[in-house]
């Protein structure tokens, strides 16, 4: 039997791993972007709409993944399993895809729609050209319409006979006018939109006033969304191969599995649905996670930590020297600075040149020098968010100069 990698254990393991990775990616993204927010209003509006939609996408993404995990560990253990040959005669009337399939179907438009909106608003924050703002706004309107149309379309696919959605395949074919055709159309449009959104910013990158190497690097960052396009394309192919029940009756196998193995065929489609949703969400967060993924940023953190330890060591050393060079009142003793009839001030004997400084005076000068070094280190050593610095530098150096006269 083909596609044997779809089983209870693989569905459970992939679901848990993807759920953890998606949650961590969004958590790190929100944390880094929160740190870069200059005003409270920016958290919701202006520069952070893409983060808001990313957070909204996490909710249905968790929902679809939890449903897959639950389906592998429920009493029925339905998802990831396979029908045996005992259903070979009545599989189209007795086998049911269960309510879990219906739940995943109605949540996937929300998850994928919010992810697409997160991508688009991220682009709009970076590229402020008037032409790009207009085109991206058109894509936003189309994406919202596509998301809502298929969300309500999947809910009312069988009109008000909701139980038919998780009935047998014969019941779906009888009560649902379009059968599985909406699912095929949905996956085709989904993959096409992902490809369009992926290549949308590329033409505008090449008009920026920056070195060609930098342009190629930016293209590589934006092409990280190619992981989402690949997952969407793969799921589209699988969904088309699954076909509709009417055509399945004339076939012996579907994707290498016998036609009576409806649970295995359905689990295969749901598996890649969950993979696409999670991979798309992770890919959406990758450009924002540059500080965590960059070795240069890691080196900056280590360097900053080392400088902090060095400053703390110098401070502790100065405090220890201060205690050794002071009397009971906590002030420097005049007797430890001068000898005989010399001037009590260090400036006095340095100007006269007649009396050489004593060891106590040398210690005092060194102590003041160390204290001054610690003070300067504490004032100068300020660690900034590398993502914020890089983002501000890119926008000020390249985007603002390149978009003069085009910004909206």
CATH of the domain at 249: 1.20.1070
Same domain, 264 and 140: yes
Same domain, 289 and 314: no
Same domain, 261 and 389: no
Q: pTM of the prediction?
A: 0.70
Establish if 241 belongs to a structural domain: yes
Same domain, 19 and 163: yes
Note down the domain range covering 367: 298-402
Same domain, 142 and 92: yes
Highest mean pLDDT among 50-64, 312-326, 377-391: 50-64
Same domain, 101 and 183: yes
Same domain, 184 and 309: no
Looking up tokens 């006018």, which residue turns up? 177
Q: Which of 233, 264, 293 is the last residue of a domain?
A: 293
State pLDDT tens for residues 180-224. 888 899 999 999 999 999 999 999 888 888 888 888 888 888 888
- When divided into structural domains, the chain yields a total of 2
State pLDDT tens for residues 244-303. 555 555 677 777 788 778 888 888 889 999 999 999 999 999 888 876 766 445 455 455
Same domain, 223 and 327: no
Same domain, 324 and 383: yes
Mean pLDDT, rounded, of the chain = 74
Q: Which of 278, 293, 308 is the last residue of a domain?
A: 293
């Amino acid at each position: 039997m083909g596609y044997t990698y779809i089983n209870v254990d693989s569905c459970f393991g992939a679901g848990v791993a993807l759920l953890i990775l998606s949650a961590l990616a969004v958590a790190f993204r929100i944390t880094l972007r929160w740190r870069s927010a200059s005003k409270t209003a920016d958290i919701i509006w202006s520069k952070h709409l893409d983060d808001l939609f990313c957070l909204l996408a996490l909710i249905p993404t968790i929902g679809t993944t939890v449903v897959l995990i639950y389906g592998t560990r429920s009493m029925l253990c339905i998802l990831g399993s396979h029908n045996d040959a005992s259903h070979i005669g009545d599989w189209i009337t007795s086998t049911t895809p269960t309510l879990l399939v219906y739940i995943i179907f109605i949540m996937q438009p929300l998850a994928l729609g919010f992810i697409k909106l997160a991508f688009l608003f991220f682009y709009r924050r970076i590229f402020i050209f008037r032409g790009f703002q207009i085109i991206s706004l058109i894509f936003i309107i189309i994406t919202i319409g596509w998301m809502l149309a298929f969300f309500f379309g999947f809910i009312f696919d069988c009109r008000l006979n909701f139980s038919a959605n998780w009935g047998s395949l014969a019941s779906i074919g009888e009560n649902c006018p379009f059968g599985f055709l909406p699912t095929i159309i949905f996956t085709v449009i989904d993959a096409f939109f992902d490809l369009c959104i992926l290549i949308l910013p590329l033409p505008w990158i090449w008009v920026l006033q920056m070195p060609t190497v930098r342009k190629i690097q930016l293209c590589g960052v934006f092409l990280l969304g190619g992981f989402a396009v690949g997952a969407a394309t793969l799921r589209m192919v699988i969904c088309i191969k699954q076909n509709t029940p009417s055509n399945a009756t004339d076939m012996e196998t579907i994707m290498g599995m016998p036609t009576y193995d409806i649970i295995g065929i359905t689990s295969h489609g749901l598996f890649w649905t969950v993979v696409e949703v999670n991979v798309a969400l992770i890919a959406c967060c990758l450009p924002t996670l540059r500080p965590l993924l960059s070795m240069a940023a890691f080196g900056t953190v280590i360097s900053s930590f080392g400088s902090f330890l060095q400053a703390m060591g110098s401070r502790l050393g100065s405090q220890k020297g201060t205690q050794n060079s002071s009397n009971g009142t906590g002030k420097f003793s005049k007797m430890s600075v001068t000898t005989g009839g010399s001037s009590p001030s260090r400036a006095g004997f340095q100007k006269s040149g007649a009396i050489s400084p004593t060891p106590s005076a040398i210690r005092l000068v060194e102590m003041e020098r160390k204290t001054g070094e610690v003070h300067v280190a504490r004032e100068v050593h300020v660690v900034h968010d590398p993502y914020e610095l890089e983002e501000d530098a890119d926008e000020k150096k390249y985007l603002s100069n390149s978009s003069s006269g085009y910004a909206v």
